[in-house]
Amino acid sequence: MTDNNSEIFLQLNNISVVYSDVIQVLKGVSLTVEKHRIVSLLGSNGAGKTTTLKAISGLLKPENGKVTDGSIFFDGAYIQNSSPEEITRKGIIQVLEGRQPFKYLTIEENLKVGTATRWTRPYKKDLEMVYDYFPALTKRRKTLAGYCSGGELQMLVMGRALMAHPRLLLLDEPSLGLAPLVVREIFRIIRRINEEQGTTIILVEQNANMALQIAHYGYVMENGKIVMEGEAPALRENPDVKEFYLGVSAGGKTRTYKDIKSYRRRKRWL
């Protein structure tokens, strides 16, 4: 796997995204993703993480958003502003934020929708694979998704994406609103998918601690820009990341009026 590590799979080159022709959300984002790696995208609310994912997957269009500048290069072709139908067929599948199951379809039907990108659909084997990754779903096959728990739904939407045989999987906050134990389970599975299927993964997370444990590389976003990047272990040790995203202050001591200083330090990134 180490040989492939240097291969550039996805490259965002200075992209800007504008919604409804006026609201600029991304202001020149560049990032590179190498094959078979997990890349984590961190940042506070409204930093533009989700928008970045949607720019890659083509889902900006239905929301009246557009990549106005820059280019997105995936596996030998430019894909900025292609339609979601084309992009998904190239192997980029996004798992949307906040678990969006098809509520009135059963678990198994939900999974079958994941085969939409493939013409020939021998999906039996894929179902086995998904149930192997997410054993919790096996018992719920015939249940309407609307009646499943949050953890089950997160597994469902990830399983649904796996049915499409993604080459690049975009995960938007898989830990959102889940119990800590379930979060750990989900992250373990993400790593397993990456190791066993060789799927390249971009992981958007608020839970920086968890994300940096499984990711190989990380980017930090703020206000529509990338403000920091680095190998995951290095990021974990970075004092700013530690303070703002991991919630540990430098000496482990509680801060008092030094807070003002840290606010300034944060401002410098903008």
Partner 1 sequence: MDFFIQLLVNGLSIGLLYGLSAMGFVMIFKSSSVLNFAHGELLAMGAFLFLVLTTWAGLPVYLAFLITLAGSFVLGFAVERLFLRPLIGESLIFVIMLTVGLASIFKGLLLFFFGGNLHTYPEFLPAGLGLQFGNVLIPPVYVASSFIGIVFLVLFGLFFKFSPQGIFMRSVADNQTAALSLGVHVKKVFALSWAIAAMVAGMSGIVLGVINGINVHEISAIGLKVFPVVILGGLDSIGGAIIGGIIIGLLETFTCGYISPSLRDVVPYAVLVCILLIKPYGLFGLVEIERV
- Could you list the residues that contact partner 1 (CB under 8 A)? 57, 59, 62, 64, 84-85, 88-89, 93-96, 100-105, 109-110, 112-117, 121, 144, 146-150, 157, 160-161, 164
Instruction: Calculate helix-pair angle for 124-133, 150-162, nearest 10 degrees.
Output: 140
- Least separation in angstroms between CB 94 and partner 1: 5
Place of tokens 């590590």: 5
Q: Give the other-Cβ count within 10 Å of 268's Cβ.
A: 8
Instruction: CB nearer to partner 1: give 146 or 239.
Output: 146
Nearer residue to partner 1 within complex by CB, 103 or 255: 103
Q: Which is nearer to partner 1, 136 or 246 (by Cβ)?
A: 136
| Beta strands per DSSP E along the chain | 8-19, 23-34, 38-43, 65-74, 77-78, 92-95, 168-172, 200-205, 217-222, 225-231
Question: To the nearest whole angstrom, how small is the minimum distance from the Cβ of residue 35 to partner 1?
Answer: 21
Compute and round to an integer the Cα radius of gyration of the chain: 19
- Residues pairing with 133 in the sheet: none
In 3-state terms, what secondary structure has residue 228?
strand
Query: Shortest approach of partner 1 to residue 191 CB, angstroms?
Result: 23
CA neighbor of 30 nearest in space, from 9, 44, 16: 16
Q: How far is the CB of 166 from partner 1 (least distance, A)?
A: 10
Nearer to partner 1, 147 or 255 (CB): 147
Least CB distance to partner 1 at residue 109 (A): 5
Which one, 73 or 102, has the nearer CB to partner 1? 102
